Amino acid sequence: MASEETRTLKSTTNIGDPTASDSPEPPVGAATRAWTMRLVVVGIVLSALNLRPAITSLGALLEDVRDGLGMSGSVAGLLTSVPPLCFAVFGVMAPRLARRFGPSAVVCAGMVAITTGLLIRPYIGGTPGFLAGSALALMGIAVSNVLMPVIVKRWFPDRVGSMTGLYSMGLALGTAAAAAVTVPMAATLGDSWRSGLAAWAVLAAAAIVPWIALVRHREAPDGEAAPAREAPERETEPKPELRITRSRTAWALAVFFGLQATAAYITMGWMAQIFRDAGVSAGTAGLLLAVTMVMGVPLAFVIPRLATRLPHQGPIVIALGLCGLAGYAGLYLAPAAGAWAWALLLGIANCAFPLALTMVGMRSRTGAGVAQLSAFAQSTGYLISIPGPLLVGVLYESSGGWGLPIALMAGLMIPQMVVGVLAGRDRTVEDEAAAH
């Protein structure tokens, strides 16, 4: 069973780069190699820390941003729908950019985009400027998000599991930290929501430094420093014919990915506001959102390992869904009285994300199939997730309360469990596509 987990971890790290090589890197000088490896680790950790603060820091200060910019509830809902839209649109560009310029250079540019977007969006002027600055930051997040597993695979082919865990932990910590400290940080910086949001550009700027050094460093593995020389050879490699849209499992996994992403972005964009409207202070509401986000740190290690040991991942899907339903019921019945319990339950439910990535690796036999299934599931899933946060904003504004939005969130959990059970069946997309 250990071999199954190793195969899954290796497969999922090729997501976004179907041409990634599994061969070890050419040997380089020991001292140079050690220095470079440490630099890559620093770059991975700093990048992971910056892949969610642009979203969760806004969720913590959404009410202040709405008041400051004169946003309606519908426009605020549109703002919370921007992340999945950007991930769907810009994420598909990442593999082609990486083949042309090299993954490190693209991630470096992504960190620059995040820094610039975070810095300018509070000050660029009005709601359109805020949306444009947010889109710039999210574009950087999208390409970096796709390419980070590729970099892990190329530099650490024998430590994929541990480095992926480190990356996942950094992502969850960055998410939780932004939710927890944005409000008090804004209060410290002159009680200004603009300063509280822009301050995260400092962390993003720090992440640029190691990638600049790696781009300048010529002894990158797998020929990364000379992508133009490598690309023609890779482009001539035969690609298997796999009509992914003929697979029912692929569709089930895409819908499952989309519905769990819908729940995650609604949570990041609106949960703090739900607690604030229930009488919870802004600082405590940010901490509650942080609790929800930080649950991803331990469970990102546990859930994939458990999933690879089960022939059917449906029981995990159902368990996570029941936690979500219990959390939404609590938000409806007693949002303030049981706030910490609801935050904990929704944090567990949101860990459907690492489960979805694990199932991507388990539902295909080949590396090329994993890459194609991942691209299909993620791009389709993010498109599915776009209307959710916007619809929550519209329902909130039209009804004047959170009853209908919470009912929508709970209602979406039912089909999420159904398609998750279908996606968790022990079969491969290659077999299903060939049978049609």
DSSP category for residue 189: T
Q: Rounded to an integer, what distance in angstroms lies between the CA atom of residue 321 and that of residue 151?
A: 32
pLDDT at 13 over 50: no
Look at residues 299, 338, 305 and name the one whose alpha carbon lies nearest to residue 320. Answer: 299
Look at residues 225, 219, 226, 181 and name the one whose alpha carbon lies nearest to residue 203. Answer: 181
Q: Confidence class of residue 368 from pLDDT cuts 50, 70 and 90?
A: low
- Phi/psi for 279 (5° steps) reads 105, 5
**How does pLDDT run across 258-270, given as a tens digit for each residue?**
999 899 888 877 8
pLDDT for the residue numbered 371: 60
Q: Are 324 and 413 in contact (CB under 8 A)?
A: yes
- Helix, strand, coil percent values for the chain (each to nearest 5): 80, 0, 20
pLDDT for the residue numbered 223: 41
**How does pLDDT run across 325-345, given as a tens digit for each residue?**
999 999 999 999 999 999 999
Q: Tell me which H or E stretch contains 120.
A: helix 103-120
DSSP category for residue 24: P
Q: Are 316 and 303 in contact (CB under 8 A)?
A: yes
pLDDT at 389 over 50: yes
Look at residues 138, 137, 120 and name the one whose alpha carbon lies nearest to residue 129. Answer: 120
**Burial of 392 (C-beta count, 10 Å sphere; 0-12/13-18/19+):** buried
Q: Confidence class of residue 164 from pLDDT cuts 50, 70 and 90?
A: low
Length of the chain: 436
- Phi/psi for 224 (5° steps) reads -65, -30
How far, in whole angstroms, is CA 141 from its chain's centroid? Answer: 9
Q: Rounded to an integer, what distance in angstroms lies between the CA atom of residue 426 and that of residue 310?
A: 9
How many helical (H) and strand (E) elements, i.e. helices and strands, does the chain have?
22, 0
Q: Confidence class of residue 14 from pLDDT cuts 50, 70 and 90?
A: very low
Q: Rounded to an integer, what distance in angstroms lies between the CA atom of residue 409 and that of residue 406?
A: 5
Q: Rounded to an integer, what distance in angstroms lies between the CA atom of residue 116 and that of residue 121?
A: 8
Query: What is the secondary structure of 229-265 as a DSSP string?
Result: HHHHHHHTS------GGG-HHHHHHHHHHHHHHHHHH
The answer to whether the predicted template modeling score (pTM) of the entire model surpasses 0.85 is no
Q: Rounded to an integer, what distance in angstroms lies between the CA atom of residue 144 and that of residue 22?
A: 21
Q: Rounded to an integer, what distance in angstroms lies between the CA atom of residue 250 and that of residue 268?
A: 27
Between 22-31, 389-398, 401-410, the lowest mean confidence (pLDDT) is in 22-31
**How does pLDDT run across 199-234, given as a tens digit for each residue?**
999 999 999 999 998 887 644 444 444 333 333 334
CB atoms under 10 Å from CB of 314, counted, come to 17
Contacts of 417 (CB under 8 A, 6+ apart): 317, 318, 321
Q: Tell me which H or E stretch contains 366.
A: none
Q: Are 370 and 386 in contact (CB under 8 A)?
A: no
Q: Mapping DSSP to helix (H, G, I), strand (E, B) and coil, where does residue 157 land? A: coil
**Burial of 430 (C-beta count, 10 Å sphere; 0-12/13-18/19+):** buried
